[in-house]
Amino acid sequence: MTIAIPGITAEEIERAARPAAQAWTLPPAAYLRDDVYALEVDRIFRRSWLPVARVDQVPGPGDYLAADLSGQPVVVVRGLDGAIRVMSNVCLHRAAPIVEGHGRSKLFTCPYHSWAYDTEGRLVAAPLMEGAEDFRPADCRLPQARTEIWEGFIMATLDPDAAPFTPQVESLSRYFANYRLAEMVVARTLTYESDWNWKVLVENFMEAYHHIGVHPQTFEPVFHARDSKVVDGDGPWSILHMPAADPDAPHPGLVPGLEPWQAGALFAAAIFPHFLIAPHANGMAWYQILPRGAARMTLNIHVCVPGEARDLKDFDAIVDASVAFTDQVHREDIAANDLVWRGLNAPMTRQGRLSPLERAVWKLNRWWLQRLGALG
């Protein structure tokens, strides 16, 4: 049984679901409509595993980081027992968020009525509750999301029945084994607010076809669009391999142990729906997407490096250079995505044909249709 998607016709679904060489894009309604976004939240975001932080961001007991998990405020905390938890960041009393930002604490106290919780989510203080019949603080504990640690990422899901995450990406982990992703640390974070649908950014990230028009001076000279290829995969993910334009040139980097074909290349891996990483010879960029609605999203680009690189005397200069280049490239992408968003909102816009270089976009589109119930 298939389920209709608001504003999208059966013909439009059939076009997007065709084999890759015959496929079309998703129609504009997939990006523009609030009711389609509501379906994404219900059927995709809140049933998927999503990255909320890196392990190195909560290194010691009591370290915490406030985050968002598909509209659920959470706090990622390393307990005094050393365990990492992703707990609801909503007070059990009158639903006020408890903490903001990041820091270190043994106790989380709600700013509204001063109810306080320990690092395991147990309620340890509830002032002036005398006389509330059958109220037992010992029975109160912040709900916790299911979590897994994958390659240093703290993954969480709101779905108690979701299949375990790690087996779904086992082959992707093997592909990037030489990069030792688990040993990466966040060196700097760039934050961008954008007024377009989250899929606009994800699709742009997944293909190098746009290098010829958007990055003619940054990426295209060193990673030719025509040479890019999508790696065959067996799970809910895609890998875009962008080989070096000059494979014989030296490609020094901070990541030791890479093979020559890896050292000069750039990769863009997307784990559906919107977990994006770009491993390279100097580390990794993690694009953390936080959808805020059909037409709004927050992007955190975490510039990551091997942990041992922090001991280099020129570490700050290396990070500064990486941050500057990352920001330059993304601002080029912002300009392109602004164009796409303007076009998607135009009344005459319809589906377009996909290029063979956009096979990853085709794979995501089919997965999206399946998760929304439009494909059997």
Of 368, 373, 333, 371, give the one whose Cα is nearest residue 27. Answer: 368
Rounded distance between C-alpha atoms, residue 169 and residue 119, angstroms: 30
187-199: per-residue pLDDT in tens? 999 999 999 999 9
The answer to whether position 191 is within a domain reads yes
At which of 123, 157, 191 does a domain end? 157
Tokens standing for 135?
């109220």
Whether pLDDT at 186 is above 90: yes
Residues 84, 109 within the same domain: yes
% of residues, the chain, pLDDT over 70: 100
Residues 108, 41 within the same domain: no
Residues 363, 290 within the same domain: yes
Whether pLDDT at 105 is above 80: yes
Give the pLDDT score at 67.
98
DSSP state of 179: G
Residues 128, 264 within the same domain: no
Whether pLDDT at 2 is above 90: no
Whether pLDDT at 1 is above 70: no
The answer to whether position 170 is within a domain reads no
Amino acid at 153: F
Residues 206, 293 within the same domain: yes
Whether pLDDT at 129 is above 90: yes
The answer to whether position 102 is within a domain reads yes
- Compute the average pLDDT of residues 5-18: 97
Alpha-carbon distances of 342 from 6, 16, 228, 349, rounded to whole Å: 21, 21, 27, 10
Name the band, by pLDDT with cuts 50, 70 and 90, for residue 51: very high
Give the pLDDT score at 249.
85
- Compute the average pLDDT of residues 54-66: 98
Mean confidence (pLDDT) of the chain: 96
Domain containing 316: what range? 10-45+180-371
Alpha-carbon distances of 240 from 100, 126, 278, rounded to whole Å: 36, 52, 9
Burial profile 46-78: b = 16 or more Cβ within 10 angstroms, e = fewer: bbbbbbbbbbbbbeeebbbbbbbbbebbbbbbb
214-239: per-residue pLDDT in tens? 999 999 999 999 999 999 888 999 99
Residues 73, 190 within the same domain: no
Residue given tokens 């025509």 in the structure block: 226
142-173: per-residue pLDDT in tens? 999 999 999 999 999 999 999 999 999 999 99
Stronger pLDDT, 200 or 3, i.e. the higher one = 200
Residue 148, by phi and psi: left (phi above 0), alpha (psi -120 to 50) or beta? Answer: beta
The answer to whether position 4 is within a domain reads no
The answer to whether position 162 is within a domain reads no
Can you tell me whether residue 55 is helix, strand or coil?
Answer: helix
Residue given tokens 């805020």 in the structure block: 292
Of 289, 330, 322, 287, give the one whose Cα is nearest residue 306. Answer: 322
Q: What is the CATH number of the domain that holds 263?
A: 3.90.380.10
Enumerate long-range contacts of 5-8, CB under 8 Å, 24 or more apart.
5/29, 5/30, 5/36, 5/39, 5/369, 5/372, 5/374, 6/33, 6/35, 6/36, 6/39, 7/33, 7/35, 7/36, 8/36, 8/374
Residues 65, 20 within the same domain: no
201-216: per-residue pLDDT in tens? 999 999 999 999 999 9
Dihedrals phi, psi of 18, to nearest 5 degrees: -65, 165
Residues 129, 188 within the same domain: no
Cα dihedral 99, 104, 105, 111, rounded to 10, equals: -20
Q: What is the CATH number of the domain that holds 147?
A: 2.102.10.10
At which of 90, 123, 157 does a domain end? 157
Can you tell me whether residue 202 is helix, strand or coil?
Answer: helix
Domain count, the chain: 2
277-330: per-residue pLDDT in tens? 999 999 999 999 999 999 999 999 999 999 999 999 999 999 999 999 999 999
Residues 196, 309 within the same domain: yes
* 338 close to 196: Cβ distance less than 8 angstroms: yes
Residues 39, 55 within the same domain: no
Residues 119, 29 within the same domain: no
Residues 76, 193 within the same domain: no
Contacts for 132 with CB less than 8 Å, ≥ 6 apart: none
At which of 126, 157, 188 does a domain end? 157
Residue 104, by phi and psi: left (phi above 0), alpha (psi -120 to 50) or beta? Answer: beta
The answer to whether position 5 is within a domain reads no
- Compute the average pLDDT of residues 77-99: 97
* 238 close to 229: Cβ distance less than 8 angstroms: no
Rounded distance between C-alpha atoms, residue 302 and residue 12, angstroms: 36
